[in-house]
């Protein structure tokens, strides 16, 4: 008998085309031994191998052209010629509500531990006037452990019963209700603001060490995250997932060596599992040559996400206890900056150079300052003796405290600084936030976000500046 390879399969056709997914179909190839399976190509890469004549592709970018082709393999493992090539363009906006390139993102982090010492509850987002001025809340943080997503603090998240005074709707929780805690309070907040999106954020500085194990089996990780975020007890509260991995293939609290593709693999798996829900990531803002933004393939991973939250703060601080004093969130470089590439615009331009569109980039704003003590020089670049005192930890303080305790005395590189007594602080003010929002608009970015609500004044003046600046 002759051993001839399979015939040419039919050119694929596309159906069910959305902004992030589509279904391919093609007519079967023939072969003297019988067809074993088909390799499906997107561009030059095999994205799947199937036994039938259909394949569903997901994690795509809206309004983007993709090319597909297929090759057949017979039971003798001979691969036949390629089908014709299909070019298909995805739809222009996602069904995920917050997706697409249209909605300007105005997002703030709510930290679940804020309900303890800070006594900051979801109700405060409402009473400050902030809830009507933002459209997205990142709820932080869920843990990443044993290769899975897990609740970060079960008590704060869904067990703590709220008094009437601390509740969004003015009604006390009962001990028998299935979901209490901050998650139920966010549910009440969403009832008052039906367009509000809430995204569960996993990882963060403390819990990013768990991502290495997660990246070893991205599919299992994504399934665990989906099962938690979309748990029937609170599926109505959450609109998607955010990954805050500090940092892929680089060092944060611990060092990761999972390789430059690990982050892409994780985000791809999450998009495949979460479908049209929001899938976002908080990422490093290190714009230096060969720095953290160069350690992982953020350009390729961008196709799987709705947006990146670029953490353009904490560039400098009193972990360098002797100084030099420097603003922790500079928008631009300036003469005497301690590290080249440690400023927001460097990160934005580096991401754009990697092919990340501005419509997938959010600029990060800190609602806090970082400071030193033992400083005699007003201008940046002074020496210090150590971190300045702070309410919760040294070297850091909320804007709402610094506003009156150490008012701004100057600006540098698009942000503010303050010298009071022997303390030197840097932080953003309503004025510098207005300037940063003008930058967001001029660069065609998606929007802005901040860490975190409790640092603002009780009447939400920083949120107001952010919202007005993006209007």
* Residues carrying an active site annotation: 246
Tell me the C-alpha distance between 104 and 273, whole Å.
25
Grouping H, G, I as helix, E, B as strand and the rest as coil, residue 115 is helix
Give me 12's structure tokens: 């694929």
Beta pairing partners, 387: 372
In contact, 102 and 432? CB cutoff 8 Å: no
Describe the strand order of the beta sheet including 35-42 as a list of residue ranges: 45-50, 35-42, 65-74, 86-89
Instruction: Encode burial over 139-165: b for 16+ CB neighbours within 10 A, e otherwise.
Output: bbbbbbeebbbbbbbeebbbbbebeee
Residues 363, 439 contacting (CB under 8 angstroms): yes
Provide the angle, in degrees to the nearest 10, between the axes of the packed helices 430-442 and 461-470.
30
Q: What is the DSSP letter of 471?
A: -
Question: What is the three-class DSSP state of 268?
Answer: helix
Q: Which of 32, 16, 149, 148 lies closest to 80, judged by CA?
A: 32
- 262-274 and 218-229 helices, crossing angle to 10°: 40
Residues belonging to the chain: 471
* DSSP 3-state of 340: coil
Query: Is there a cis peptide before residue 308, judged by omega within 30 degrees of 0?
Result: no
- Matching residue, tokens 């299935």: 178
3-state secondary structure of 387: strand
Alpha-carbon gap, residue 96 to 399, rounded angstroms? 33
CB distance 252 to 208 below 8 Å? yes
To 10 degrees, the CA torsion angle through 131, 132, 134, 140? 10
Q: Which ranges of 306-419 does DSSP label H, i.e. alpha helix? A: 344-353, 399-405
Pairing of strands 307-310, 361-366: parallel
- Which residues does residue 338 pair with via DSSP β-bridges, in sequence order? none
């Amino acid at each position: 008998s002759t051993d001839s390879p399979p015939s040419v399969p039919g050119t694929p056709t596309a159906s069910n085309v959305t902004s992030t997914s589509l279904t391919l179909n093609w007519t079967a190839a023939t072969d003297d031994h019988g067809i074993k399976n088909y390799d499906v190509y997107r561009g030059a890469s095999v994205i799947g191998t199937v036994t039938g004549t259909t394949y569903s592709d997901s994690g795509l970018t809206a309004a983007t052209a993709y090319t597909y082709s297929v090759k057949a393999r017979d039971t003798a493992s001979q691969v036949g010629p390629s089908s014709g090539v299909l070019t298909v363009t995805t739809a222009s906006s996602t069904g995920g509500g917050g997706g697409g390139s249209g909605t300007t993102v105005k997002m703030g982090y709510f930290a679940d531990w804020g309900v303890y010492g800070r006594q900051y509850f979801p109700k405060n987002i409402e009473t400050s006037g902030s809830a009507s001025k933002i459209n997205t809340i990142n709820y932080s943080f869920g843990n990443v452990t044993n290769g899975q997503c897990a609740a970060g603090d079960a008590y704060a998240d869904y067990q703590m019963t709220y008094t009437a005074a601390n509740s969004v709707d003015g009604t006390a929780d009962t001990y028998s209700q299935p979901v209490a805690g901050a998650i139920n309070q966010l549910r009440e907040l969403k009832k008052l603001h039906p367009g509000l999106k809430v995204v569960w954020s996993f990882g963060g500085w403390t819990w990013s060490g768990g991502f290495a194990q997660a990246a070893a089996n991205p599919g299992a990780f994504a399934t665990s995250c989906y099962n938690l975020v979309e748990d029937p007890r609170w599926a109505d509260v959450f609109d998607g997932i955010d990954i805050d991995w500090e940092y892929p293939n680089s060092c944060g609290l611990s060092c990761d060596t999972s390789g430059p593709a690990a982050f892409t693999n994780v985000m791809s798996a999450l998009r495949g599992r979460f479908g049209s829900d929001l899938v976002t990531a908080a990422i490093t803002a290190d714009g230096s040559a060969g720095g953290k933004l160069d350690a992982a393939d953020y350009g390729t991973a961008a196709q799987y996400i709705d947006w990146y939250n670029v953490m353009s703060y904490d560039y400098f601080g009193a972990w360098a206890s002797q100084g030099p004093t420097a603003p922790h969130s500079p928008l631009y470089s300036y003469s005497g900056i301690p590290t080249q590439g440690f400023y927001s615009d460097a990160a934005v331009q580096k991401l754009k150079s990697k092919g990340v569109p501005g419509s997938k980039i959010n600029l990060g704003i800190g609602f806090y300052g970082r400071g030193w003590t033992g400083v005699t020089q007003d201008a940046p670049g002074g020496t210090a003796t150590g971190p300045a005192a702070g309410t919760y930890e040294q070297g850091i303080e909320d804007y709402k405290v610094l506003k009156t305790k150490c008012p701004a005395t100057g600006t540098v590189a698009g942000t503010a600084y303050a010298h009071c007594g022997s303390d030197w602080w840097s932080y953003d003010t309503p004025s510098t936030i207005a300037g940063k929002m003008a930058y967001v608009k001029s660069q065609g970015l998606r929007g802005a976000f901040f860490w975190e609500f409790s640092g603002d004044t009780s009447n939400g003046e920083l949120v107001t500046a952010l919202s007005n600046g993006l209007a």
